A and B are shown apart, each in its own frame.
Chain A
């Protein structure tokens, strides 16, 4: 029994599914953003798992792309939580059902 790339991919898939579930089904705005972070983490793990199945030069590219993905996640968290602060000032609530003004 050795470590197989499939195990890493299945772990990444499981964490991505939990992150997606958290982002869609929780009602608290904080948990929606934390679910997005969890899903981004799982994608980074998947990138690194696939990078190790590539030959020499290409495997380095697969280990640099997650670096950019982490930086974009940092920017996303920065703007996302600023929006949460703005919304919270307006309605004093973090329940996402209170922000359904544009519902048809």
Chain B
């Protein structure tokens, strides 16, 4: 009963913040609403029984990714062209399509026989890390995926640096550097 009350409170916060993301005009308000939604979702992860993922959610999503988002919004000063309308005519057709999709999938969810398994394990830090770094011969082998993830993040970082830097060696960039 108590779990249900906590879930309803956190769900209302997460959903309300998500609606705020959809309706807010300035990108910075949207980003702050997104942080609120992510923190509420981290609370739900802890409530359901995955505290490790809740902490990862706060550290990586609400901490690192949203810091990057707010940083880029502030660097580019996203409020500069706030005169463009939020929605256009296409939005009128997108709204019923997405609502129809949600209705169909929600109908399937409500009809599906789902129940919590009493033997489901609590995803504590020790259990999750033991499974993640289980290097036994017949083990799940998640540590290989973990290594690949390191390569992916490294290549994403290199790609971001290459995309976002000013072109070096071209005429325009040398001119702008002189004007500084």
Contacts and interface: CB of A to CB of B under 8 A. Distances in A.
Interface of A: 1-11, 13-22, 24-28, 30-31, 33-35, 37-38, 41, 44-45, 48-49, 51-57, 59-61, 63-64, 66-68, 70-79, 81-86, 88-89, 92-95, 97
B177 interface: no
A15 B90 CA distance: 21
B78 A78 contact: no
Interface in B113-166: 114-117, 119-121, 123, 127-128, 131-132, 140, 142, 145, 149, 152-153, 156-157, 159-161, 163-164, 166
B63 to A, nearest CB: 11
Given A13-B105, A71-B152, A81 B99 contact: no
Nearest to B88: A27
A27 B41 contact: no
Contact of A61 (B69, B81, B140): B140
Contact of A17 (B85, B101, B117): B101
A31 B28 CA distance: 10
Main secondary structure of the interface of B (DSSP, over half): helix
Interface residues of B, number: 84
Contacts of B95: 21, 25
Contacts of A14: 15, 18, 102
A5 B106 contact: no
Contacts of B15: 11, 14-15, 18
B81 to A, nearest CB: 5
B50 A48 contact: yes
B18 A72 contact: no
Contacts of A72: 149, 152
B108 to A, nearest CB: 10
9 contacts: A3-B4, A22-B21, A34-B27, A38-B37, A49-B48, A73-B65, A77-B69, A84-B72, A86-B163
Contacts of A45: 41, 44-45
A81 B69 CA distance: 7
Given A7-B7, A24-B98, A68-B149, 5 more contacts: A1-B1, A35-B22, A56-B121, A68-B145, A77-B68
A70 B146 CA distance: 12
B170 interface: no
Nearest to A20: B98
Contacts of A18: 15, 18-19, 21-22
A38 B18 contact: yes
B21 A64 contact: no
